[in-house]
Chain A
Amino acid sequence: MSTIRTEKNLQNITTAHPDGIGGSPLRPDGILKVRGEFAYSSDMWHENMLWGMALRSPHAHARILSVDISEAVKHPGVEAVMTHEDIPGAKYYGLEIKDQPALAMGKIRYHGEAIAIVAADHPETARRALAKIKVEYEILPTITTEEQCLDPETYGYVHEPDEYKGHASGNVVHSQKLISGLGVTDEVRALADVVIKGDYVVGMQDQAFLGPESGLAVPAEDGGVDLYIATQWLHVDREQIAPVLGLPENKVRLTLAGVGGAFGGREDLSMQIHACLLAQRTGKPVKIVYSREESFFGHVHRHPAKLTYEHGATRDGKLVYCDARIVLDGGAYASASPAVVGNAASLGMGPYEVPNVNMLAVALYSNNPSCGAMRGFGAVQACFAYEAQMDKLAAELGMDPVELRQINAVEQGSIMPTGQEIDAPAPVADLLRRVKALPLPQELDTTHLDVRDIPGALSNTSHGEGIVRGVGYAVGIKNVGFSEGFDDYSTARVRLEVIGGEPVAMVHTAMAEVGQGGVTVHGQIARTELGVEQVTIHPANTEVGSAGSTSASRQTYMTGGAVKLACEAVRNELVALGRKRYGWDYNDLSLVGGKVVSASAGVLVPIADLLGDTAIDLTREHHHRPTVPFDKETGQGFGHVQYTFCAHRAVVDVDVELGLVKVVELAAAQDVGKALNPLSVVGQIQGGSTQGLGLAVMEEIVVKDGKVRNPSFTDYLIPTILDTPPMPVEVLELADEHAPYGLRGVGEAPTLSSTPAVVAAIRAATGLALNRVPVRPEHLTGTGE
């Protein structure tokens, strides 16, 4: 996989170190993970440990008439059986709206909702005890379609009005309007020569992380709980757990356990409260590990969406207006739905200058599985729709689809439909130019076929028959960090001391390493800023301040920025120590190779000698520049911290008779501001592209009448190596002066444009409209839904 590196606009860095920033040192967890030796959260063990397990509803909507736990309690080996009645504190929790009961109270709102929990000496004992709990249900009609959700008078409420206080009631979780320019009126429509309309559907994608939800809760002598947990944000977990346990936050201490992937699916709580409740009740450590099937019910998914778009343009391809409506199915509980709505509305025009906009985005409550955070977060759904629109418009105008995008592309200085100016590089047209300029992969050689290279692969469905190639393009825009006035600051503590004669930096944050490589980057930053060889990474826990969430492409920006600030503070104190001791008055000092160096006077003193027995231990917070909430009626406001852009070109082979697809190549170009770790950056871009490919052609949780039909990796398919093509990546580094090192969040942007690029290529090969993802063989062969 070739990586082509292009122009740079580097900021001055304190020191150069091969394993400092801009290098690609190996990840400390990499070899362990490849060898299967890494300890994941599901591998933990404690003496006298009990196993926790939850009883889940087989129904999507029901009234609970009675729960009889008497037989389960008597089951030998069972140490606790708990229902909502046994919860010592608050009964509800939630990421943004506290609408979710820790254990079902009176009502079931989705298939798989937890009703009771058991702690027992063995998982099989717990399973048998669960089978002895008798629950009487009154099954209710499900509220699952948009029509049903929006007509509560006829179909009812998922949450009764006023059921939780202070928020909009009814079946709308959140809505956001956005109007810019003149809006979309008859007068505005009259300005357009061409009008393109489309209805689009995005299916429910799952994060499909490989490490199931798991953790270990250990009761402490002070009446508190120590929880070892795989999560994305330790502090916000604690904020939600402590009130339910009836404990102050300082008695609930969290330490990050090995995380096997997240992608947004660990932003909400899963087994955390249950394990802690059982540990509190039994006085013994309690471990909970979800099975693969339970995992599909144990976390939120990507919002499925219905999107209606109408674009007007002039004959020469300039966009005049866009009228759009995005309906997101939020499922039974709010999770991150409000923020997802904000993203869908504010980013729903794509990276294009659209003078007149009318947009409405809403998330609905339903009896479908809860949906929340997943890589791309509201921007993925919109990107599929607006990019399909761009291709339709180009076809209507007889224009090249890349050229159409380029003439409408935003650039630095453009004003977003929210009124926010893009005040950093926005090389959208250039990214498109770059993916288009890459050499195309070789044509299929049908005389020397390797079936692994064609649709169907080893399934041996074609020896060259029916195969048509297509090429498609797409580009997207994503925000970095939390938006709409949220101060998602990060904290870092850095300690510099001499160990074994060497200066050693220790970096302590609460950042969740979920596989993104943050621990590698923290080491690089410390080496660069402090000129030391040895860096140790302290386990992430709540003993230090919040690091915010490992999501929203924000961790390198935010916690990386906090580590940089803490290192700078340590460096300043070290230099102050030298000034005091040696009377230095140099203004050209830096830390290089374990020494304090003056540019004019050369090496002054080894850091180890300067420090002696002193340890410098400082903690700093990093806040991004403030944003504001979007105006409820107009969507106007400086809502986002930073924008990030990625473009894709997809090349596919389609067996048009069988409807099978093989993505031949998926090329990407992305501006990352500054690649702190170029290898990780390419890995993120390729990983995000692959997840987008999955949504394009296979990944969907199938839900019927609120019931999940495919809760397994047998039937929820994710790409294998034979589905994952070569992915050439062009990395641009155009610094954003607002960000540490000029960097730009990387992880999500590639997930956006990958999906529409693949589908555009399939459209090019088949001539079909394809308004829904994932595209299934049925859609390509006219054989059903």
Chain B
Amino acid sequence: MEFLRPATWDEALAAKAEHPSALPISGGTDVMVELNFDRHRPSALLDLNRISELTAWESGRYEGQEGEVIRLGAAVPYTRITRELSAELPGLALAGNTVGSPQIRNRGSVGGNLGGASPAGDAHPALLAAGRDVLVEAESVRGTRLIPIDEFYVGVKRNSLEPDELIRAVRIPVADGPQQFSKIGTRNAMVIAVCAFGIALHPKNGTVGTGIGSAAPTPRRAVEAEEFIAGELAERGLWQSGGLIGPAAIQRFGELVAAAASPIDDVRGTAAYRRHALAVMARRTLTWTWNEYTQSLRSAA
């Protein structure tokens, strides 16, 4: 197995072009497990640890995205996302806090989650919920491609990257409303998600974002649930009034989230449990975010 250690981003792109089957490695929290279990023997590893810009983030305004955006380097570890970006990216910060153990959070990154594209990756539901204009910066020697998050996940552990492309960063709009993330595991820490749910309120454009993890071949949104609740909020003028959503609508939202999943029975849980738990998490997280939103309305008034 070859071990490639580019010193710069340009060298990394050149190496990837030359060795399209090389597997990028940064924190190694996923890749090394696969290697140690002998599930995967890539012809080459492409070590990105020397490229310091991948562990940096910046905020700014970018073409094609509204408002302020965080451009998150692919290798920024979860520990730093939770510590440094919990105001700007609250959903992702909460999700990051559920990844593995403290040691894993010190090494694991969003770029790794996206590269692996496992349906159980904790970052995915938060990214999906954060909005349709979350963009993955995919680069190759041929140039830069901005992949909308909705088009990124294409199959079980498959993403829409080309063989010569590397993930450089993810551009995520700064939250314009409350966000939440919940995950089920069968112990109280260090678990792979049995299922997970992310939600983001977007008061600016009157939408609600969702993301479902570990309950379908790919991470996915609960589109009908999003449309239903956005419709409720708009029709009843709740964005302005900050009134109660009410149990019937919250119940319906939960049902629609559960219906959007296509879970399986496996060693981590049954399909029936996953649907059930998604509905509960959807109800609870909607309630939490809405309470936070109405409180912010009241304190602004």
Contacts and interface: CB of A to CB of B under 8 A. Distances in A.
A763 to B, nearest CB: 19
A702 interface: yes
B37 A712 contact: yes
Interface stretch (B183-191, B214-222, B223-231): B183-191
Contacts of B184: 456, 459, 461, 658, 660, 777
Interface stretch (B59-67, B139-147, B154-162, B264-272): B264-272
Given A460-B181, A461-B284, A783-B270, A723 B188 contact: yes
Contacts of B288: 463
B270 A785 contact: yes
Contacts of A458: 97-98, 188-189
A460 B98 contact: yes
Interface string B255-283: 00000000001011111110111001100
Given A461-B284, A714-B192, A777 B37 contact: no
A697 B188 CA distance: 11
B186 A776 contact: yes
Nearest to B279: A657
Contacts of A781: 273, 276-277
B182 interface: yes
B187 A719 contact: yes
A723 B271 CA distance: 25
Nearest to B284: A465
B284 A462 contact: yes
Interface in A728-785: 776-778, 781, 783-785
Contact of B281 (A452, A461, A784): A461
A452 B192 CA distance: 17
A722 B97 CA distance: 14
Contacts of B101: 720
B38 interface: yes
Contacts, number: 108
Given A291-B37, A460-B180, A720 B186 contact: no
A759 B59 CA distance: 50
A461 B182 contact: yes
Contact of A784 (B97, B191, B265, B284): B265
B269 A778 contact: yes
B183 A461 contact: yes
B38 A127 contact: yes
B46 interface: no
B175 interface: no
B94 interface: yes
Contacts of B185: 456, 459
Contact of A715 (B268, B276, B281): B268
B36 interface: yes
Contacts of A702: 267
A459 B183 CA distance: 5
Contacts of A785: 270
Contact of A717 (B97, B181, B191, B276): B191
A698 interface: yes
Nearest to B274: A783
B273 A783 contact: yes
B188 A777 contact: no
A769 B216 CA distance: 32
Nearest to A713: B190
B269 A720 contact: no
A720 B188 contact: yes
Nearest to A702: B267
A463 B276 CA distance: 18
A776 B273 CA distance: 10
Interface string B73-104: 00000000000000000000010011001000
A721 B190 CA distance: 10
Interface string B113-132: 00000000000000000000
Q: Range of interface residues on chain A?
A: 35 or more
A658 B191 CA distance: 16
A193 interface: no
A291 B36 contact: yes
Given A127-B38, A723-B188, A460 B276 contact: no
Interface string A693-720: 0000110001000000110101101011
B187 A717 contact: yes
A698 B192 CA distance: 14
Nearest to B276: A783
Contacts of A22: none
Contacts of A658: 184, 277, 280-281
Contacts of B192: 714-715
Nearest to A785: B270
A462 B180 CA distance: 11
Nearest to A131: B38
B200 to A, nearest CB: 15
Contacts of B194: 777
A390 to B, nearest CB: 28
B267 A709 contact: yes
A373 B185 CA distance: 29
Contacts of A292: 36-37
Contacts of B265: 784
Contacts of A712: 37
Interface in A438-479: 452, 455-463, 465-466
Contact of B37 (A293, A657, A697, A723): A293
A320 B31 CA distance: 61
B267 A659 contact: no
Contacts of A375: none
Interface centre among B94, B267, B272 (most CB of A within 10 A): B267
A295 to B, nearest CB: 12
Given A462-B284, A717-B187, A784 B273 contact: yes
A386 B150 CA distance: 54
27 contacts: A292-B37, A457-B188, A457-B189, A460-B97, A460-B98, A460-B182, A460-B183, A461-B182, A461-B284, A463-B284, A697-B186, A697-B187, A702-B267, A712-B37, A715-B268, A717-B186, A719-B187, A722-B188, A723-B189, A777-B186, A777-B269, A778-B270, A783-B273, A783-B276, A784-B265, A784-B271, A784-B273
Given A657-B280, A717-B191, A723-B189, 9 more contacts: A459-B191, A714-B192, A720-B187, A720-B189, A776-B186, A777-B269, A783-B276, A784-B273, A785-B270
Interface of B: 33, 36-38, 94, 97-98, 101, 180-192, 194, 265, 267-273, 275-277, 280-281, 284, 288
Q: Which A-B residue pairs are the 6 nearest by beta carbons?
A: A784-B270, A783-B273, A457-B188, A783-B272, A722-B189, A722-B188
